[in-house]
Amino acid sequence: MSDLTQVLSITGSDNMGLSGIQADTRTISDLGGYPLTAVTAVTIQDSKGIKEILDLPQDMVIGQIKAIFHESHPRVVKVGMVRDPQTIEAIREEIIRCRHIILAPGIINSYNARILSDQALTAWKKKLIPEASLLLIKCQEAQILLGHPVTTNDEMLQAAKELIDLGAQNVLLRGGNHIRGQLTALYHGEGKTQFFTSQNTEGWKKHGVGGALSAAIATRIAMGDSISEAITNAHTYIHSQVVYAISSSTRSQRMADIYNQFMTHIASNYRQAHDVNFYADLLAITPRYLSQVTSHVIGKSPKTIIAEYIMKESIAMLTTSRLTIGEISDKLGFSSQAMFSKFFNSHQKCSPAEFRTKGNGN
C-alpha cells in the first residue's frame, strides 16, 4: 500500500468522469492523498443527465470495502451515492471502525432529479447519518429529509440543528438560493455556526461540484485539518479547480493551466496581496505575459480579476457578517478603511456603509 494518506470513497461511477468515483479519485490525488475506492453503482449519463443507474449487488459492494479494510486503514471514509437500503445498512457495519466518516448522500443530483427512494432515505437517516463526522447536503435535499421548507437563513440554521439531532456531528448545508444573485451555505458544528456566500451561482451548480467538495474535505481531514479547517481549505481548492476553472479543451493548454493556477493563488492570497506583480512572481512569469493569458482566456486583465474577487468577498462579508467596515477592511488586506471605501466605491458606486444600509444590495 502507498505511504500517502489513504482516503476511501464509496460511491457510484460516472462514465463522463465529471462526478462519482472518477472525480473523487482525481480530487483525492490532486490534494496529495491516496484514493481507495468501492463502487456502488454504474451509470449511463451525458451532459443532459443520467440515463440509467445499475446498483451493484450488496455482496459486491461490501466485498470491495472488506478487501480494503483487510489490507489498509483509511483515515477517512467518504460515502456518496448508495441507493439500496440493505447495502446502506451493511456499509455502516463495515465503516464504523473509521474515525472520520463524511457523508454526501446525493438525494437529488445536479440535474435536479431525485435518485433516492423513500426506503433508501430512511436507511440513510437511521443507519449512516448518526455515524457522520460531517454531513453535506443541499437545502433542497434537507427539505425532503426533514419534511419542511429550508428557504431562509433562519430555516437553514433550524435544519442544521435538526440534522445534528439525527446524530451528525457537523453539517454543511449547501445551495441556499433565497437571496437573489448568490448562493448561501451554512456550516454548523464544533461549537461554530458560519454562513458562506458566493456570487458565482452557475459555478457552484456545475455537475460534480458537490461530490468533489466532499472528497476534498475528506482528504483535508485525513491530512490533519479540523472539520472547519478542512471545509475552508477544500472550498478554496474547489473555487479554483472547479468553480472558476477554465477548460483547456478549446484553448491553449499552457494558458488554461496558468489561468487556473492564477485563480488558485488569488483564493489563497487575496487577503494580503492585491498586486499583479505578486501573482506573476508566484507563477514565475512576467506581469505582461499574465495579462496576455487572462486576456486570451476570459478577456479580462489580471487587475480586474483580482478586484472582482476581492469585491465578491467584500460583498459577502458585508451581507452575511456583523464585522465592522474597519474589520472587513483589515481582513481584506487594505492599508486603511479609507482605502477600502475608495476601492469599494469605485466598483459599486457607493460606500460599504451605504451598501450595507441599503439592504445589502438586495
150 found inside a domain: yes
CB 227 within 8 Å of CB 134: yes
Instruction: Report the mean per-residue pLDDT for the chain.
Output: 87
Q: What is the largest CA-CA distance in the chain?
A: 65
d(CA 206, CA 10): 21
Could you tell me if 211 and 288 lie in one domain? Answer: no
d(CA 141, CA 115): 11
- Residue type for position 71: E
Task: Look at residue 250 in the predicted model and tell me its pLDDT.
Answer: 39
Helices and strands counted in the chain (H then E): 16, 9
Closest CA to 58 of 36, 80, 81, 90: 90
Residue 144 is placed in which grid cell? 425532503
DSSP bridge pairs for 183: 198
Mean pLDDT in residue range 194-201: 70
Whether residue 73 is predicted with pLDDT greater than 50 in this model: the reply is yes
Last residue of a domain, one of 243, 277, 304: 243
User: Would you say the C-alpha torsion 135, 141, 145, 148 has a positive or negative sign?
Assistant: positive
CB 90 within 8 Å of CB 60: no
Here the CATH number for the domain that contains residue 305 is: 1.10.10.60
Q: For the chain, how many residues are written?
A: 362
The single residue listed with the C-alpha cell 448518526 is 130
Could you tell me if 205 and 263 lie in one domain? Answer: no
Could you tell me if 275 and 166 lie in one domain? Answer: no
Task: Put residue 39 in one of left, alpha, beta given phi > 0 → left and psi -120 to 50 → alpha.
Answer: beta
**pLDDT single digits (tens) 253-290:** 578 778 878 888 888 888 889 999 999 998 888 899 89
pLDDT band at 242 (very low <50, low <70, confident <90, very high): low
Burial of 30 from C-beta contacts in 10 A (0-12 / 13-18 / 19+): middle
CB 177 within 8 Å of CB 194: no
Could you tell me if 28 and 136 lie in one domain? Answer: yes
d(CA 56, CA 65): 13
Whether residue 18 is predicted with pLDDT greater than 90 in this model: the reply is no
248 found inside a domain: no
Could you tell me if 238 and 257 lie in one domain? Answer: no
- Concatenate the DSSP letters of all residues of 95-148 into one string: HTTSSEEEE---SB-TTS-B---HHHHHHIIIIIGGG-SEEEEEHHHHHHHHSS
Q: Coil, strand, or helix at residue 229?
A: helix
Task: Look at residue 263 in the predicted model and tell me its pLDDT.
Answer: 85
Task: Provide the residue range defining the domain that includes 266.
Answer: 253-357
**pLDDT single digits (tens) 120-178:** 999 999 999 999 999 999 999 999 999 999 988 889 999 999 999 999 999 999 887 76
Last residue of a domain, one of 191, 212, 243: 243
Last residue of a domain, one of 225, 243, 261: 243
pLDDT over 70, % of the chain = 90
Could you tell me if 135 and 270 lie in one domain? Answer: no
Mean pLDDT in residue range 315-327: 87
Here the CATH number for the domain that contains residue 53 is: 3.40.1190.20
Please give the distance of CA 95 from its chain centroid, rounded to a whole number: 23
Residue 64 is placed in which grid cell? 470491495
pLDDT band at 249 (very low <50, low <70, confident <90, very high): very low
Closest CA to 292 of 259, 261, 327: 259
Beta strands in the chain, from DSSP E residues, in sequence order: 5-13, 33-46, 49-55, 76-79, 100-103, 134-138, 170-176, 183-189, 192-198
Task: Look at residue 100 in the predicted model and tell me its pLDDT.
Answer: 97
Domain count, the chain: 2
Could you tell me if 139 and 233 lie in one domain? Answer: yes
101 found inside a domain: yes
CB 123 within 8 Å of CB 89: yes
| φ, ψ dihedrals at 325, nearest 5° | -60, -40
Could you tell me if 279 and 319 lie in one domain? Answer: yes
Pick the more confident residue, 38 or 112. Answer: 38
362 found inside a domain: no
CB 13 within 8 Å of CB 20: yes
Task: Look at residue 362 in the predicted model and tell me its pLDDT.
Answer: 44
